[in-house]
Structure 1
Amino acid sequence: MKPADEDRIAANLAKIMALICIRNTHLEDLHAGKVPITRTGDYSDVFVIDAEGRKIPWFEAAHIDDVQMASLMQEIVNRLFTFHMKSDDPGFRDDLDRWMAVAGKWDDPVLDQAFLDAMASLKSRPNN
């Protein structure tokens, strides 16, 4: 197989997995809230006031708690597992082809150097 074909297949797989396994999860519930208005454009003028009356700058406030994060990650892991387990099922593949019409409109992915660097740094840690 030509490298260009491998790149195209990997890009399509990444996009369809992101759409099916990550985008349409409880992440949508987190995204559905009201977006605060910023006059500066960088949200430095936006604050969260908590129940104790603390004024927390937007970028210092957690936007998801530990329970929500654990639930979201479990949902994503379950979907990725299901995706892999059903990838040879003809009916499932037909469904993927239909969803690819949506995911195919997304920008093509690029290699994430920060991710590769983080993975490489894990090798140098003791007990890995």
Structure 2
Amino acid sequence: MRRKDEERAAAKLAKAMAMICVRNTMLENIHAGRGPRTKSGDFTDVFVVDAEGNRIPWTEVSRIDEDEMRDLMRQVVNRLYTFQLRIEEPEFQAFVDRWLVPTGRWDEPVLETDLGSTRFPEL
């Protein structure tokens, strides 16, 4: 397969996996709800007041707790696993093709050359 064809296929697969395995997860529930408004444009004028009266700048607020992060990662891993195991099934391929339609408006992916470099901390 030519490099351009490989890149096109990889882009299509990446978009499908992002839509099906990441976006259409509990992440949608975390994303739902009202978002704060900012006049400054950078949210430095937005604060959250917690139950103890602490005023926390929006830029410092954790928007997902440890339990939600664990549940989200578990769901993403399960979906990626299922996606990979079922991708050869015609019925699943038809399902993937339907979800690719809205990704047609997404930006094309770019190669992250530093993935796997020392920029990413070791565990």
The answer, yes or no, to whether TM exceeds 0.5 is: yes
- Tell me the equivalent position of 2:57: 57
Q: Distance in 2 between matches of 1:104 and 1:56?
A: 38
Structure holding more helix per residue: 1
Post-superposition shift, 1:90? Answer: 1.2
Name 1:40's counterpart in structure 2.
40
1:1-128 equivalence runs, <5 A? 1-114=1-114, 116=115, 119-121=116-118
> Which ranges of structure 2 fall in alignment gaps of 5 or more residues?
none
Cα deviation for residue 122 of structure 1 reads 7.7
8 Å CA contact 1:12–1:104 kept in 2: the answer is: no
TM-score normalized with structure 1 length: 0.89
- Structure 1's consecutive aligned runs of 4 or more residues displaced over 2 angstroms after TM superposition are 122-125
Question: How far apart are residue 38 of structure 1 and its match?
Answer: 0.4
Q: TM-score scaled to structure 2, two decimals?
A: 0.92
Matched residue pairs, number? 123
Provide the alpha-carbon RMSD of the alignment.
2.0
Q: Distance in 2 between matches of 1:122 and 1:29?
A: 30
91-100 vs 33-42, which deviates more?
Answer: 91-100
Q: Deviations over 1:52-95 (max 9, x none)?
A: 10000011111000001101110101100000110111110111
Structure 2 distance, partners of 1:72, 1:124, is: 21
Give percent identity, aligned residues only: 49
